[in-house]
Each structure stands twice: as C-alpha cells, then as structure tokens.
C-alpha cells in the first residue's frame, strides 16, 4: 500500500510537470522545448523571453493556481457536508461569484472585481442553503436548489451584459464561461499570493474537515462544534471559489471532480495536497487541450470543462441512484 501511494504521488507530480512543460513549449510562435530550456537557463532571446514571461507563463501559473483553488474549494464543501455533489459549481456558488463580479464592475467600477466575486459567492451559497429547506442533507434538493440559484445568477449576468455592458459583452462572455485567454502577470501574481496566504490556513483546518466527515455527533464529542465548524469551512471554500473566479472565471467540473479523484488515488491521509494537485492538473490539462486539440482549439477552457462536468455528474448521479435502489 505504501509503495502504491508513493508511485501515485510520483505519477501525479510527473503528469503535472509534463503538462506544464507542454504548455510552455507547444504553440504556433516557433518556441519549442529547446527554447524553453534556454529560457530556464537564462540564455533565451528577447522574443522568447517575452512570450514565455508575458503570455504562456502567466497563463500556466493562473491555470495551476486556479485549478488548485477550485480543487480545495470542492474539498471544503464536500467534506463538511458529507456529499460528493456539494461542489461550488453544482450548488450555484461559482455562478453567483460570476454574477457578483459583473455587478461589481457595473455598480462600483473602482472596487476590485475580487470583492464582487466573494460577495456573489456568499450570496449564492446562502440562497442555496435556504432554498433546500433542510440545509444540505438531501442531495436531490441541493442539486435542484443549486440549479435554480445558478439560473438566477445567469439571468442577472445576461441582463447586465445585454442592457448595460453591451460594449464589453464579448469579453464578459468569455470570462463568464471560464477562460484563461489574455492572462497577464498581474493575474498570475494575484493567484500566487492567494495560494501562498490561503493554503497554510486550509492546511491548519484540514483535520476539522475529516472530523466532520465522521458525523455531527462524533464531531461534537471530539470538540468540533458542527455548526460553527461547517460554517467556517464553507466560508473558506467560498474564498477559494472567489479566488478562482476572479482570475479565470467560473470554470466548471474541477471543484466537483478533483476531491473525489484525489481520494481514490491517495486515500484520506494527504488528500488536501492531492486535491490541490489534481485540480491544478485538470485545469492545466484542459487548457492545454483547448490550445492544441483540433476539435476544441481556441475555445474558452470552461466550455471543455463544462462538458466533462456534465458527463461526470451524470455518472455520479447514476451511481447514487443504483446504490439507493439496492
């Protein structure tokens, strides 16, 4: 078992390095692996350095950081709520964050868009919680309420874009789909700062997530008040969701799938780090695909992840129904 876990970690890191290298080395600008190695050694021409430092590099950094943030957001929702469907994109949080970001640009252009994303995410998770009538105990009600909140958020976005922000409609449509196009060093710096500040905090509360997964009664007996702990952890999950939305838009699927994939790969010990790595791998690999694969080349990365997310969600729901009918 220990050998299997070690091999799994090595393969996971190797895949992440491979995808990162391919993102930097592949493209239509005549920059390949040799130029990337020269750049890493500090001996690259100005043109190569510009492309890697101003175009491909920031895009890769944002993909890695946003993917890790989405993975941790999903983990902080699914664990405390003990529900594999309780991810930010399913219960409307990412859509709410996108709506909050758009409204922030409309109502208070001087306020950073990240503030709007946080407020929108908090509003969405609150509405979803209230709309279920039973908290997040019923997966079916949670999914239906989340779809409703996501639809409401989408309606708000469409209204704002169509009536008020028509001159910026195309840029907003790409952002609200989830896109890594035109990411610059500013986006990359923001994502890195958020990860450096937020990950240690998430690491410190990781044990509380595992305690809540055991059930409310046992959590209370172990000194973890379920209500307060769950609220704090979901609040941290909203933070991670807002970080990802602010730099990459409301990308679907990653927050839903990364925690479950990580747990299957490495088990419970170490799953926080594994979840972050899997999230980073999923988003960076999807972005590499939309840059290079003929069928999806040029599309916003959110289009591809949304399609994958629909397939994954269908599989999860089918499995849940089969288990319930046994």
pLDDT tens across 176-220, in order? 778 888 888 999 999 999 999 999 999 998 888 888 887 777 777
CA–CA dist 250, 153 (Å, integer): 12
Sign, CA torsion 200/176/63/8: positive
Contacts of 143 (CB under 8 A, 6+ apart): 85, 90, 91, 317
Q: Give the closest residue to 65 by CA, choosing from 189, 221, 177, 170.
A: 189
CA–CA dist 254, 121 (Å, integer): 17
Q: Give the closest residue to 77 by CA, choosing from 202, 193, 176.
A: 202
pLDDT at 326: 66
pLDDT tier for residue 169 given thresholds of 50, 70 and 90 = low
pLDDT at 3: 76
pLDDT at 18: 94
pTM: 0.88
Contacts of 239 (CB under 8 A, 6+ apart): 118, 198
Examine the pLDDT at 116 and tell me if it is beyond 80.
yes
pLDDT at 50: 80
Give the bridge partners for 134, in sequence order: 136
For the chain, what is the mean pLDDT? 83
Examine the pLDDT at 138 and tell me if it is beyond 80.
no
pLDDT at 36: 82
pLDDT tens by residue, 227-245: 778 888 888 998 898 889 8
pLDDT at 297: 67
pLDDT at 75: 92
pLDDT at 203: 93
pLDDT at 78: 87
Examine the pLDDT at 17 and tell me if it is beyond 90.
yes
Examine the pLDDT at 167 and tell me if it is beyond 90.
no
pLDDT at 170: 63
User: Homologous superfamily of 2-324 in CATH?
Assistant: ABC transporter involved in vitamin B12 uptake, BtuC (1.10.3470.10)
Domain extents in the chain: 2-324
């Amino acid at each position: 078992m220990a050998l299997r876990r070690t091999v799994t970690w090595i393969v996971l890191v190797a895949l992440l390095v491979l995808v990162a290298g391919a993102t930097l080395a592949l493209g239509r600008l005549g920059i390949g692996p040799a130029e990337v190695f020269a750049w890493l050694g500090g001996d690259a021409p100005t043109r190569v350095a510009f492309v890697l430092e101003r175009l491909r590099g920031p895009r890769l950094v944002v993909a890695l950081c946003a993917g890790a943030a989405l993975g941790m957001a999903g983990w902080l929702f699914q664990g405390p709520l003990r529900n594999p469907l309780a991810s930010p994109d399913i219960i409307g949080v990412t859509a709410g964050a996108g709506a909050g970001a758009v409204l922030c640009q409309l109502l208070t252009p001087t306020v950073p868009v990240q503030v709007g994303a946080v407020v929108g995410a908090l509003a969405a998770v609150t509405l979803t919680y209230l709309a279920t009538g039973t908290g997040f105990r019923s997966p079916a009600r949670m999914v239906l309420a989340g779809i409703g909140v996501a639809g409401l958020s989408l309606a708000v976005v469409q209204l704002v874009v169509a009536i008020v922000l028509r001159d910026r409609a195309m840029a907003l449509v790409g952002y609200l789909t989830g896109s890594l196009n035109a990411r610059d060093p500013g986006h990359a710096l923001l994502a890195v700062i958020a990860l450096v500040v937020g990950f240690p905090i998430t690491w410190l509360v990781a044990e509380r997530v595992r305690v809540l997964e055991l059930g409310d009664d046992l959590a209370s007996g172990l000194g973890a008040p379920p209500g307060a702990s769950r609220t704090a952890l979901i609040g941290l999950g909203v933070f991670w969701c807002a970080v990802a939305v602010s730099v990459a838009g409301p990308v679907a699927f990653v927050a839903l799938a990364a925690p479950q994939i990580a747990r299957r790969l490495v088990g419970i010990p170490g799953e926080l780090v594994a979840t972050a790595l899997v999230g980073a791998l999923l988003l960076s690999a999807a972005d590499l695909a939309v840059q290079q694969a003929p069928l999806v080349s040029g599309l916003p990365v959110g289009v591809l992840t949304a399609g994958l997310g629909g397939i994954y969600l269908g599989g999860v729901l089918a499995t849940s129904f089969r288990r319930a009918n046994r």
